[in-house]
Amino acid sequence: MKRVIFALVLALCGFWGTVGLEGHALAEDVASVEVKASPAVPLRVPGATDDRDLPWASDGEANVPYVFHDPAHEGRMTGFEYDLMQAISARMGRHGRFVQNGWDGLIPGLSRDLYALVIDGIEMTPEHKAAVLFSRPYYVTVDRIVLRNEEKGLDTLEALKGHVVGTIKSTAAERLLLDHDPTNVRSYDEETNLFSDLKNGRLDAILIDEPIALYYLSDDLKLVGPPIGRVAYGIAFPKNNPGLRDAVDAVLGDLMSDGTLHQILARWNLWTPQMADYTGDQTPSKVPPTAWTDYRQTMERMSGSSVQAMVHRYISFLPLIGSGALMTLGVSALAMVLAVAMGLVLALARAYGMAPLRWLAGLYVEIVRGTPLLIQVLFIFYGLPAFGLRLSPFAAGVLSLGLNYAAYEAENYRAGLLSVPRGQMEAAIALNMTHMQALRLVIVPQAFRTVVPVMTNDFIALLKDSSLVSVITLTELSQTYIRLSSTYYDYIGTGLMVGMAYLLVGLPFVRLARMAERRMGRVVAKGHH
């Protein structure tokens, strides 16, 4: 889903171009990047909090081995790109600060100055180059074929013809497969789903970037055949900040020259002949793959099926699920307050307002109900800055959910207002109440009691729809589930835990709504008496 939304956001920002990249074109990109010296002028570092801050973004959710949460310490980030950014920051005399953002929001986040740069295994494709400036490639790799152990003979692109082959969307591997046999290509958004389908027999083979293949490989899968194609990853910068790009380019050159990049990649078992040819560093690697070994050992221990391993794993999930539940509750509760208040105003305007107010309220309701919530979330967070309005991710999440559900609450209220007999208003006026007093003291309380059950259902729906705020960097319950389940391939146990968290968050509000409904019923009954 992430790469699909990424394409959508690029289209909204006017960046979308042609998809895919040929192997020879990648080679030209690598060769054409010039080494540039650091500029003498002060660097512009978007998103920095002080002169030493260097905020950089990546999607650390299930992003092995690039930037990801260390399975041994879930609150700590790790990965070969993470180590690279630490080295770059230190060479620049700055403190590197990781900023989490979903894949779909990484490039648009540059345009609104949330951070200074992006590093996330981004291939230097035409559509990406149309959106951002790129550094020189910091990693050059190839695509590899992955098969189940019992499969034989499918070790070349030609041999894959006529077989169902999976890959990741909008990548060089997808383009290669589509050029050879477009009818049998299955494109995926997430690596975990891709490898699960291969294991389950839904796919005959996988073609994917070698670093991903290496880290997602398990005992029942194997790498086959020679390297295929050529892929280059670059660090992305805003179009209007070539100075920072040039400074990072110079540091990357130094890291390549003095062997630091070699050491980082060797620790992750990612130093390859392709990187040796690209950097000109042909010295034998003497750095043990400690990071690779630690990761494999931790995954073997955490992913075990023994009772002890499962208990340890699920206990370690509790802080993350608790944090996600608090974020979900906070966003949902505040959004519902906004939705209820604004919905009442819209309903009163449609039922009792002047003709222009009725028309405007009706237009708002139809526009909001007729457009997807996802588009509204992206527009508020990424589109409004073009008009000078910049909101934090939390504020944008509350506002987008609140404005969306206000349209539905308005229709609920309007139905409740229309259900109150007209004689109630006439009786209130006859008792010398003003029109506003009659609405506030007689009509609205009766209408509110009618719509309380519907509001409760809407709040439960809003709790679930809050998952969409993950596209603007907020990590709530559903994003927590995606991260944990895709890391450990544990969809059942993790799903039950997250489902229970949603249930525990929603049930108290259902109970409170029932209590309010009974209390209001008694109040209304006393009033009639």
Would you state the pLDDT for residue 224? 94
According to CATH, the topology of domain 2-135+234-302 is D-Maltodextrin-Binding Protein; domain 2 (3.40.190)
Nearest to 442 by CA among 412, 410, 417: 417
Residue found under tokens 């295994």: 121
Residue 11 has pLDDT above 60, yes or no: no
The predicted-structure confidence for 433-445, as pLDDT tens digits, reads as follows 877 777 777 777 7
Q: Which residues pair with 198 in a beta bridge?
A: none
State both tokens at 399: 């506002």
Read off the pLDDT of each residue in 280-301 and give the average, rounded to a whole number: 89
Angle (CA) 175-176-182 rounded to 5° is 75
Q: Which residues pair with 148 in a beta bridge?
A: 221
Read off the pLDDT of each residue in 448-472 and give the average, rounded to a whole number: 79
Residue 92 has pLDDT above 90, yes or no: yes
Q: E-assigned strands of 48-163?
A: 53-58, 68-70, 73-78, 95-100, 117-118, 133-134, 139-148
User: pLDDT-derived band of residue 15, with 50, 70 and 90 as boundaries?
Assistant: very low
Read off the pLDDT of each residue in 182-200 and give the average, rounded to a whole number: 87
Would you state the pLDDT for residue 145? 96
8 Å CB contact between 33 and 136: yes
User: pLDDT-derived band of residue 520, with 50, 70 and 90 as boundaries?
Assistant: low
Say how far apart CA 218 and CA 209 lie, in whole Å. Answer: 16
CATH 1.10.3720.10 assigned to domain 309-528? The reply is: yes
User: Would you say the CATH fold of 141-231 matches that of 2-135+234-302?
Assistant: yes
Highest mean pLDDT (candidates 59-73, 79-93, 188-202, 218-232): 79-93
Domain ranges of the chain: 2-135+234-302, 141-231, 309-528
Which listed CATH number (3.40.190.10, 3.30.9.10, 3.40.50.170, 2.60.40.790) goes with 141-231?
3.40.190.10
Residue 457 has pLDDT above 60, yes or no: yes
The predicted-structure confidence for 146-180, as pLDDT tens digits, reads as follows 999 999 889 999 999 999 999 988 788 998 899 88
State both tokens at 152: 């034989």
Q: Which residues pair with 133 in a beta bridge?
A: 237
* Candidate from 70-84, 85-99, 414-428 with smallest mean pLDDT: 414-428
The predicted-structure confidence for 242-262, as pLDDT tens digits, reads as follows 999 999 999 999 999 999 999
The predicted-structure confidence for 349-382, as pLDDT tens digits, reads as follows 888 788 899 899 999 999 999 999 989 998 898 8
State both tokens at 261: 């990049």
- 10 burial (CB, 10 Å; 0-12 / 13-18 / 19+) is buried
Residue 33 has pLDDT above 60, yes or no: no
Phi first, then psi: what are they for 449, rounded to 5°? Answer: -60, -35
